[in-house]
């Protein structure tokens, strides 16, 4: 049940170039396409949330190198404002996984990991631009959003296991702002 949006590919760049000159084309989803895009992702994520995890049998017991991704439900984490990183703090923070969720529709947009929770979002982060474009498009159509971030603090402190856990969660939830999932949901809020 993955999205196929061809609207963004209606015209080739060779067809658009003479009309635009040197300007980069800005293609926006219409309200109907945006709603369909979101609903398909929500259906997938709610199915993941309510389905029993698949248990794979093995001949040998293989030790787990990280936390089981099936025990993490991003939708029950305490939400924080996206501006959390602007609050004064006395430490660089802790290792964690973080989840950007549009609480207005229960849509998990992005999954990330960091070893310094108070510093990761202070600098440049592509996800900030995606969120801004996502919210701008919703504002354009008068659609409600409530984008927040939730933190899961039991993440492995070591980088590699934490990154493996992050990747497993990205693959499981198919969060649309993570580049690993652009093949499923395209990249409507990506770089210009």
Condensed to tens digits (0 to 9), the pLDDT of residues 134-146 reads 999 999 999 999 9
How many domains does one find in the chain? 1
Q: Is residue 129 part of a domain?
A: yes
**What share of the chain has pLDDT > 90, as a percent?**
55
Q: Is residue 165 part of a domain?
A: yes
What's the token pair of residue 86? 């602007």
Alpha-carbon torsion angle 74, 78, 80, 84, nearest 10:
-100
- In this structure, the chain runs to a length of 192
Q: Is residue 125 part of a domain?
A: yes
Q: Is residue 99 part of a domain?
A: yes
Q: Are 141 and 34 in contact (CB under 8 A)?
A: yes
Is the C-alpha dihedral spanning 84, 41, 46, 115 positive or negative? negative
Task: Return left, alpha or beta for 27; rule: phi > 0 is left, psi -120 to 50 is alpha, else beta.
Answer: beta
Q: Is residue 167 part of a domain?
A: yes
Q: Is residue 190 part of a domain?
A: no
Which residue range forms the structural domain that includes residue 38? 7-50+66-185
Instruction: Provide the whole-model pTM.
Output: 0.79
Mean pLDDT of 78-105: 84
Question: CA 178 to CA 168: how far, in whole Å?
Answer: 12
**How much is the pLDDT for 156?**
94
Q: Is residue 175 part of a domain?
A: yes
Q: Is residue 169 part of a domain?
A: yes
Mean pLDDT of 62-76: 77
**How much is the pLDDT for 17?**
52
């Amino acid at each position: 049940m993955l999205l196929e949006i061809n609207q963004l590919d209606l015209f080739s760049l060779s067809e658009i170039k003479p009309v635009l000159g040197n300007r980069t084309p800005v293609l926006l989803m219409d309200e109907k396409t945006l709603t369909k895009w979101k609903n398909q992702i929500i259906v997938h994520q709610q199915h993941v949330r309510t389905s029993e995890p698949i248990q794979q049998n093995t001949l040998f017991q293989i030790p787990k190198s990280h936390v089981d991704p099936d025990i993490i439900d991003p939708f029950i984490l305490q939400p924080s404002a996206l501006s959390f990183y602007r609050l004064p703090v006395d430490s660089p923070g802790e290792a964690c996984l973080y989840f950007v969720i549009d609480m207005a529709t229960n849509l998990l947009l992005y999954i990330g990991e960091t070893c310094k929770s108070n510093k990761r979002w202070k600098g440049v982060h592509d996800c900030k631009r995606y969120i801004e474009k996502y919210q701008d498009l919703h504002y354009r159509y008068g659609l409600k959003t409530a984008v927040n971030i939730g933190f899961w603090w039991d993440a492995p402190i070591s980088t590699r296991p934490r990154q493996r856990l992050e990747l497993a969660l990205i693959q499981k939830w198919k969060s649309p702002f993570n580049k690993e999932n652009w093949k499923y949901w395209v990249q409507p809020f990506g770089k210009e």
